[in-house]
Homo-oligomer: A and B are copies of this chain.
Amino acid sequence: MMGHHVSDGVENKELDAASLPSSQGHSIYKVGFPQKRNFFREFKDALKETLFADDPLRPYKDQTGSRKLILGLQYLFPILEWGRDYNFSKLKGDIIAGLTIASLCIPQDIGYAKLANMDPQYGLYSSFVPPLVYALMGSSRDIAIGPVAVVSLLLGTLLRNELDPVTEREEYIRLAFTATFFAGITQAALGFLRLGFLIEFLSHAAVVGFMGGAAITIALQQLKGFLGIRDFTKNSDIISVMKSVWGSAFHGWNWQTILIGSAFLAFLLCAKYIGKKNKGLFWVPAIAPLISVILSTFLVYITHAEKHGVQIVKHIEKGINTSSVNKIYLTGSSAMKGFRIGLVAGMVALTEAVAIGRTFAAAKDYQLDGNKEMVALGTMNVIGSMTSCYVATGSFSRSAVNCMAGCQTAVSNMVMSAAVLLTLELITPLFKYTPNAILASIIISAVIGLIDYEAAFLIWKVDRFDFVACMGAFLGVVFVSVEIGLLIAVSISVAKILLQVTRPRTALLGNLPRTMIYRNIEQYPEATRVPGILIVRVDSAIYFTNSNYVKERILRWLRDEEEQLEAKQLPRIDFLIVEMSPVTDIDTSGIHALEELHNSLQKRNVQLVLANPGPVVIDKLRLAKFTELIGDDKIFLTVGEAVMTCAPKAREDA
Contacts and interface: CB of A to CB of B under 8 A. Distances in A.
Contacts of A14: none
Nearest to A626: B462
Given A12-B9, A204-B587, A589-B203, A39 B464 contact: yes
Contacts of A9: 9, 11-12
A57 interface: no
A272 B615 CA distance: 42
Interface stretch (A236-244, A313-321, A535-543): A535-543
B539 A584 contact: yes
A588 interface: yes
Contact of A543 (B500, B507, B512, B624): B500
Contacts of A585: 500, 505
A267 interface: no
Interface size class of A (residues with CB under 8 A): 35 or more
A404 to B, nearest CB: 19
Nearest to A544: B203
Contact of A50 (B203, B503, B581): B503
A603 B365 contact: yes
A522 interface: yes
A205 B581 CA distance: 25
B12 A49 contact: no
A152 to B, nearest CB: 25
Contacts of A553: 53
A615 B505 CA distance: 12
A6 B515 contact: yes
Nearest to A202: B544
A309 interface: no
A32 interface: yes
A627 to B, nearest CB: 12
A141 interface: no
A81 interface: no
A7 interface: yes
A114 interface: no
A574 interface: no
Instruction: Report the copy number of this chain in the oligomer.
Output: 2
A444 B589 CA distance: 28
A203 B590 CA distance: 10
A204 B55 CA distance: 33
Interface string A422-435: 00000000000000
Contact of A514 (B6, B200, B587): B6
Interface stretch (A286-294, A378-386, A409-417, A591-599): A591-599
Contacts of A370: 548
Interface stretch (A186-194, A331-339, A477-485, A491-499): A491-499
Interface string A499-540: 111111101000010111101101111100000000000011
Nearest to A55: B556
Contact of A11 (B516, B548, B596): B516
Q: Output the residue of A8, A32, A205, A612 with the most chain B CB within 10 A.
A: A32
A34 B556 CA distance: 22
Q: What 3 pairs across the A-B complex have the smallest Cβ distances?
A: A9-B12, A582-B582, A523-B615
Interface of A: 6-12, 28-29, 32-34, 39, 42-43, 46, 49-50, 53-55, 197, 200-205, 358, 362, 365, 370, 455, 458-459, 461-466, 468, 493, 496-497, 499-505, 507, 512, 514-517, 519-520, 522-526, 539-541, 543-549, 552-553, 556, 581-582, 584-585, 587-589, 591-592, 596, 599-600, 603, 612, 614-616, 618, 620, 623-624, 637-638
